[in-house]
Structure 1
Amino acid sequence: MTTKFAKLEKFEGVNFRRWKKKMHFMLTTLKAPYMLTTPRPAEPEESVVEMAEETRKRQKWDNDDYICKAHILNGMSDALFDIHSEALCAKELWDTLELKYITEDASSKNFLVSDFNNYKMEDSRSVTEQYNELLGIYGQFKLHKMNMDESIAVSTIIDKLPPSWKDFKHNLKHQKEELSMVKLASHIRIEESLRAKESDI
């Protein structure tokens, strides 16, 4: 388990939703995610038997909370660890992270839309590389649960192909088959490969 946590990418303050899912999965393997929602058992007011049972429950909660909080903090960069290490319990830490970074994620959605819409492909760079950059932005849409129909994304990317690909762009737009992102990537790779061969002749 320790080695698995060592491989978990440290949270640096971006892509919180992805990190949150990975961290929740890791905590589930420790049977500790209940610590993110369960408050500490109350102090007993009844009989000695009930006091012993409640004390046992509180001790288990304290132990699980320590482990859960430690693993969350261990999954963060040193800078964020220093900021959040004073949290009283795992639930407080988790709630603080969600409040801060999901709010920031919401504002980053606007930047994602802007980045995707304003992206311009250039003739001076590999079109496949530029396509992959756009694909990365499109992947972030899904991560933020921003639904864009795939056919719209494909059509938008075709429109962004560089000026020297004008004929290729025209041919793609007049194809009868509906293109997926995967098929578009394949067409772009083939076209770029053919152009590279022609330039070598």
Structure 2
Amino acid sequence: MDPTATSTIAAGSSNATPAAVAMPLLPTIPLIAHMGFPNTSKIEVFCGNNFKRWQECILSALDMYNVDFALTQAKPKEGTPDYASNIEIWKHANKVCGNTNLSTLSNDLFDVYYPYKEAKQIWESMNKKYTVEDVGQQRFVIGNYARWHMIEDEDIKMQIDKDIKTIDDLKPENIELPESFVAGMLIKKLPDSWSDYKQQLKHKRKMSLEDLIVHIIIEDRNIKQVEATRIKEVISKANLVQDKSNKHKRAPCTSVQEEGDMTILLSQMQIWFKQMTMTLLLWSFLK
């Protein structure tokens, strides 16, 4: 090898800056420039909730356009190798990422992040803010799920639906609970009056969550039928006692017709009594 060439390579190596060595390979302009901007119409507008889900949707859209590197890589510095081509590639990727981020934000959040010049700045700021808030949200939804219990005076089927809803609230937070754990918690959350049933389930074979829900609904139906039968028996006995009591009572004269007849009879008796009195007096006088 030519000694001059060797010394030139060595000199070039010694003069290389750390930034130049660490600079990752970027896609070429022809590879990304012709693809335009991602379609964000199917990405839900971010209003401050479910950040992880929104973040995954953005990453997926940008990855298809091979520009997602602009979310994590800073603007190339002047003097680095291939600066001229790299800066053009970065500018395009930064524009696509920035517009994609902003176009999926609510109006209030758009006003907050629009002044940012780099997509990386938007991404890092949102990640720092909403990742912390997501942790708080996770604690909140987990607490809701753990605290919620069934009550006596509400339909069991409706309460099971509520329990499933609290489980669904965990999914946007990337919290997946094992089915066996959910089934065990459902048994534990049954009302206190179901204590015997809960004890029986401990000795049964393990059931899937779906089978357990069906089993609980059938048991609830049986409980309601037994209770309805018991109430009918109580009402029947009460009516029987009432009937016997009524038979021993003397029915009062409450008929208007009967009261009228009695009045007429008394009036006739008074007239007859007066006539008899006059007859006796006259007979006594004549005698």
TM-score tier (shorter): 0.7 to 0.9
Which of 101, 107, 126 matches 1:72?
Answer: 101
- Is the contact made by 2:70 and 2:119 (CA closer than 8 Å) also made in structure 1? yes
1:28 has 2:46 as partner: no
TM, length-normalised to structure 1? 0.76
Please tell me the residue identity of whatever aligns with 1:56.
S
Give the length in aligned residue pairs. Answer: 193
Please tell me the residue identity of whatever aligns with 1:180.
S
Mapped to 1, the partners of 2:38 and 2:127 lie a distance apart of 26
1:17 has 2:62 as partner: no
Q: 1:163 to 1:18 in 2, by over 3 A?
A: same
Please tell me the residue identity of whatever aligns with 1:41.
P
1:58 has 2:93 as partner: no
Mapped to 1, the partners of 2:149 and 2:65 lie a distance apart of 46
Shift of 1:116: 1.1
Mapped to 2, the partners of 1:3 and 1:93 lie a distance apart of 18
Mapped to 2, the partners of 1:77 and 1:185 lie a distance apart of 40
RMSD: 3.4
Shift of 1:78: 1.7
Please tell me the residue identity of whatever aligns with 1:79.
D
Residue in 2 that maps onto 1:39: 74
- Is the contact made by 2:70 and 2:120 (CA closer than 8 Å) also made in structure 1? yes
Mapped to 2, the partners of 1:65 and 1:187 lie a distance apart of 56
TM, length-normalised to structure 2? 0.56
Q: Which runs of 5+ in 2 are unaligned?
A: 1-35, 226-287
1:180 has 2:208 as partner: yes
Q: 1:26 to 1:123 in 2, by over 3 A?
A: farther
Larger radius of gyration: 2
Higher relative contact order (CA 8 A, sep 6+): 1
Shift of 1:19: 1.4
Please tell me the residue identity of whatever aligns with 2:207.
L
